[in-house]
Amino acid sequence: MFDNDDVELLRQASAKLCEGFAALPGFDVAVPGAERMADVLSLTAERLQNNYPYFHPLYAGQMLKPPHPVARLADALAMQINPNNHALDGGRATSAMEKEAVAEIAAMFGWREFVGHLCSGGTMANLEALWVAGQRGAGARGAGKTILASEQAHYTHKRISAVLQLSCESVAVDACGRMGLNALEERLARGDVGTVVATMGTTATGSVDPLPEILRLREKYGFRVHADAAYGGYFALAGNLGDAARAAFALIAEVDSIVVDPHKHGLQPYGCGCVLFRDPAVGQLYKHDSPYTYFSSAELHLGEISLECSRAGAAAAALWATQRLLPLAKDGEFARGLERGREAALELYRRVSHSEKFVAAFAPELDIVVFMPRAATASEASVHSRRIFAAAAERGLHLAIAELPARFWEATAGAMRLDRETMTCLRSVLMKPEHLDWIARIWERLEAATDAVADGAGKPR
Ligand SMILES: *Cc1c(COP(=O)(O)O)cnc(C)c1O
């Protein structure tokens, strides 16, 4: 939350910004009085109270994480100019900042030569990647354009493919939520595949598709590989991944395109996704002749390499400032934050696995834990999951629920009867560094909520 120190930092930076425009003659702006604005802002604040406390460590549910203070301040600062990164005419400084910040993200994945840009989010970024895939797709053998993504890939790929009129098929996952290699190879052998989407951290469980093996299959069958690292991309910097995830991230430079969301794990406000292509020539596909935008410079205008037109330059200023403060370096402060979230997830997984009350699915590959309450059947556990979700919220702990294949519990279910194909389970995304310090308190509330539900369930009706 903004405090006096933040306001003072913003005031100082604003004064600095104004120095750049000091030569202009003054002019009057019609603004309503401070009193009326205060009234409206107070009403706005009141309305905004109707939210889960996303910024607090006891919010351990969905993928929500507060932007870094420096990102919020840089965003507010840039908002006074409200630059538009579509063209250099609309956002000179922020276009340069975007190019620098995006180059740093590409370097994190090992790319020096590439073409890429920011966009409104992972959906738009994936749309551009699949749009390019549709034109470039058709691997070495020049055959089809079908896109393959795992059953656990983000649902956006199916919808995007429909928009692009490309066929998109699902590949079965293994018991850990990763793309199944046998299923993939079987489908590849039938031909017609242009692109395989490797999800580097699925949205539901943070599972990382087996990129080394997918790349090996690319040698044999020839297809494009798109890495959807919208959620997991920054874990390329984490030093505490398991062997499989580490091996996958180590080869990410070999793919054709990458999507990563700075507004997920990159500490940015919403409205900041990023798409990168290994082959800079992809830029030509975006070619268009605008009669009115690109006059000020022969330099690259970002609108010449992106599908969206108007875009917030403030998002680039926020990202640039954040990466200046917290460089994207292995062993750096930013990487440490990711590692702490992962440690928190491993600790929660450890507690869940050792508890009589729960059954964990597989060990987390990133920082997401999925588990269910112990019960006689999957059906019963599903009902209890929903009750625990609500009982935890009453105790100030906010989790998420997910509908996942019951197969994910195959190895751990023991005597529990898996009487359903899918089951409703509890899911916790531990993406804030503070989560690590709060695990004991999270656990306490989770156990209390679970006991309350068990007591309720035990009572005669
Ligand atoms: C979140 C997510 C998306 C969609 O991104 P938005 O920023 O929500 O549009 C796509 N793929 C994966 C793997 C994601 O986690």
The percentage of residues in the chain with a pLDDT greater than 70, rounded to a whole number, is 95
Fold of 92-325: Aspartate Aminotransferase; domain 2 (3.40.640)
Instruction: Compute the distance between CA of residue 370 and CA of residue 364 in angstroms, rounded to an integer.
Output: 8
Per-residue pLDDT tens for 344-361? 999 999 999 999 999 999
Q: Is the CB of 273 under 6 A from ligand 1?
A: yes
Say yes or no to pLDDT of 299 above 80.
Answer: no
pLDDT in tens, 161-202: 999 999 999 999 999 999 999 999 999 999 999 999 999 999
Closest CA to 157 of 183, 123, 191, 134: 123
* pLDDT surpasses 80 at 460: no
pLDDT tens-place string over residues 370-404: 999 999 999 999 999 999 999 999 999 999 999 99
Hey, which of 124, 126, 154, 211 would you mutate to test ligand 1's pocket, going by the most ligand atoms within 8 Å of its Cβ?
154
pLDDT (0 to 100) of residue 314: 98
* Whether the CB of 385 sits within 6 Å of ligand 1: no
Sign, CA dihedral 153-159-160-166, equals positive
pLDDT of the residue at 296: 64
pLDDT of 295 higher than 90: no
pLDDT number for residue 456:
83
> What is the structure's pLDDT at 214?
98
128 lines ligand 1 (CB under 6 A): no
Instruction: Please choose, from the candidates 103, 130, 107, the residue with its C-alpha nearest in 3D space to the C-alpha of residue 115.
Output: 103
Are 231 and 208 in contact by the 8 Å Cβ rule? The answer is no
Q: Give the model's pLDDT for residue 406.
A: 96
Whether pLDDT at 293 is above 70? no
φ, ψ dihedrals at 195, nearest 5°: -145, 140
Give the count of beta carbons closer than 10 Å to the beta carbon of residue 65: 21
At 54, is the pLDDT very low, low, confident or very high (cuts 50, 70, 90)? very high
**CB burial string 66-101: b at 16+ within 10 A, e below:** ebbbbbbbbbbbbeebebbbbbbbbbbbbbebbbeb
Percent of the chain with pLDDT over 90: 88
What pLDDT, in 10s, does the model give residues 56-105? Answer: 999 999 999 999 999 999 999 999 999 999 989 899 999 999 999 999 99
Of 78-92, 278-292, 420-434, which range is least confident?
278-292
pLDDT at 291: 65
pTM of the prediction?
Answer: 0.95
**Whole-number pLDDT of residue 219:** 97
pLDDT of residue 398: 98
- H or E segment and range at residue 353: helix 333-354
Query: Reduced to 3 states, what is the DSSP secondary structure of residue 64?
Result: coil
Selection from 241, 237, 236, 173 nearest residue 210 by Cα: 173
Interval 232-251: pLDDT, tens: 999 999 999 999 999 999 99
Predicted pLDDT at 140: 46
User: Which structure tokens are listed for 218?
Assistant: 């690319």
* Residue 29 CB contacts under 8 Å (≥ 6 apart), including other chains: none
> Where do the domains of the chain lie?
92-325, 333-457
Q: What is the DSSP string of 141-201?
A: T----EEEEETTS-THHHHHHHHHT--EEEE-B-TTSSBPHHHHHHHHHT--EEEEEEEBS
User: Is residue 184 exposed (0-12), middle (13-18) or buried (19+ Cβ within 10 Å)?
Assistant: buried
Q: What is the mean pLDDT of residues 307-326?
A: 97
d(CA 283, CA 32): 45
For residue 393, the surrounding DSSP H or E stretch is helix 378-394
Whole-number Å distance, alpha carbon 120 to ligand 1 midpoint, is 11
Mean pLDDT of 109-138: 93
- CATH fold, domain 333-457, is Aspartate Aminotransferase, domain 1 (3.90.1150)
Which ligand 1 atom is the nearest neighbour of the CA of 231?
A: 15
Q: Closest by alpha carbon to 384, among 436, 346, 426?
A: 426
Ligand 1 neighbour 205 (Cβ under 6 A): no
E strand or H helix at 392: helix 378-394
- Specify the pLDDT at position 256: 97
Q: Is 231 in the pocket of ligand 1 (CB under 6 A)?
A: yes
Ligand 1 atom nearest residue 200's Cα: 13
Atom 3 of ligand 1, nearest CA residue: 122
CA of residue 293 to ligand 1 center, whole Å: 30
Residue 183 Cα, ligand 1 centroid: separation in angstroms? 24
CA distance 427 to 431: 12
Q: What is the mean pLDDT of residues 118-125?
A: 98
